[in-house]
């Protein structure tokens, strides 16, 4: 389970970077395509020992994606549980694709990069384009979109009710420690729920319009927030919430109950 815990830490680092990127971009009143996990990996690659850092994060994400995929095949009863299974499947593919992008970024130089074709294959738009080309592609993308919405609702419920504390070991924490984790977790889970909700809806919209370009990466989800009334304020709040989610993942990765 060590690889899974490293994956949790890697996910936390990325969410902190994405949140900070979103906050910074909100102050400039626009959202660029780098306000997502890929942009966070690029930002990490520019740091000292960037290749090593991006490689470690990407390997961790691969482990996390594999665990998510494994959980898809666990025993689940009820319609909502089955829909959540589809959403989890979509998220595991997303993290796996992100890990591949990270390894490509770390080890393939611009001169040897396949002119963006690899990124097109692993981007939400590229995946949606290939799935929509299948005979039942529209149904599959809609199902994944609904699944992502259900996962978002599940995150919202866990955040509001504080149920995420049941997933970690808190026996050695004092009242202040528990309160701090609860604040970070509640804020973070609500922020993730907002982004997942937008992403799920944009996937459904892409399928209904048969327009893969409308499939949402995190950058498009954040852009949708910016286009709403009081957009910069909403984006700043969401960016801070996403950063809180990252801090929560990073400080609890050893406490996660993964058995």
pLDDT for the residue numbered 110: 45
Total domains, the chain: 1
Q: Is residue 141 part of a domain?
A: yes
Higher pLDDT, 74 or 162: 162
> What is residue 224's predicted lDDT score, i.e. its pLDDT?
72
pLDDT confidence band for 114 (50 / 70 / 90)? very low
**Residue 221 domain-assigned (yes or no):** yes
Whether the CB-CB separation of 165 and 212 falls below 8 Å is answered with no
Res. 235: pLDDT tops 70: yes
For residue 214, give both structure tokens: 């409308």
- Whether 90 maps to a domain, the answer reads yes
For residue 91, is it within any domain?
yes
SS3 sequence of 76-133: CCCHHHHHHHHHHHHHHHHHHHHHHHHHHHHHCCCCCCCCCHHHHHHCHHHHHHHHHC
Greatest mean pLDDT range, 73-82, 157-166, 180-189: 180-189
What is the extent of the structural domain holding 205?
2-252
What sign results for the dihedral spanned by CA atoms 66, 212, 149, 34?
positive
- Residues 6 or more apart whose CB falls under 8 angstroms from that of 231 comprise 26, 225
The predicted structure's pLDDT at residue 185: 93
Residue 259 lies in a domain: no
Q: What whole-number distance in Å separates Cα of residue 156 and Cα of residue 180?
A: 18
pLDDT at 34 over 50: yes
- Whether residue 82 lies inside any domain: the answer is yes
Instruction: Answer yes or no: is 191 within a domain.
Output: yes
Has residue 181 been placed in a domain? Answer: yes
The packing angle between helices 79-107 and 37-45, to 10°, is 30
Q: Are 8 and 256 in contact (CB under 8 A)?
A: yes
């Amino acid at each position: 389970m060590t690889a899974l815990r490293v994956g949790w830490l890697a996910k936390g680092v990325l969410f902190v970077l994405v949140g900070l990127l979103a906050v910074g971009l909100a102050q400039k009143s626009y959202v660029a395509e780098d306000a997502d996990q890929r942009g966070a990996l690029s930002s990490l690659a520019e740091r000292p020992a960037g290749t090593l850092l991006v490689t470690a994060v990407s390997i961790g994400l691969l482990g996390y994606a594999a665990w998510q995929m494994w959980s898809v095949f666990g025993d689940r009863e009820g319609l909502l549980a089955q829909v959540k299974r589809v959403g989890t499947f979509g998220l595991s593919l997303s993290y796996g694709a992100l890990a591949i992008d990270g390894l490509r970024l770390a080890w393939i130089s611009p001169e040897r990069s396949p002119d963006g074709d690899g990124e097109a294959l692993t981007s939400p738009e590229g995946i949606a384009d290939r799935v929509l080309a299948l005979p039942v592609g529209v149904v599959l993308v809609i199902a994944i979109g609904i699944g992502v919405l259900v996962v978002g609702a599940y995150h919202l419920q866990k955040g509001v009710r504080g149920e995420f504390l049941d997933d970690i070991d808190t026996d050695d924490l004092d009242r202040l420690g528990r309160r701090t984790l609860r604040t970070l977790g509640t804020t973070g889970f609500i922020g993730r729920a907002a982004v997942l909700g937008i992403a799920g809806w944009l996937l459904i919209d892409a399928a209904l319009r048969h327009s893969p370009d409308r499939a949402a990466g995190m950058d498009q989800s954040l852009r949708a927030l910016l286009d709403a009334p009081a957009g910069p304020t909403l984006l700043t709040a969401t960016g801070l919430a996403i950063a809180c989610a990252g801090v929560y993942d990073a400080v609890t990765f050893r406490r996660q109950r993964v058995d």
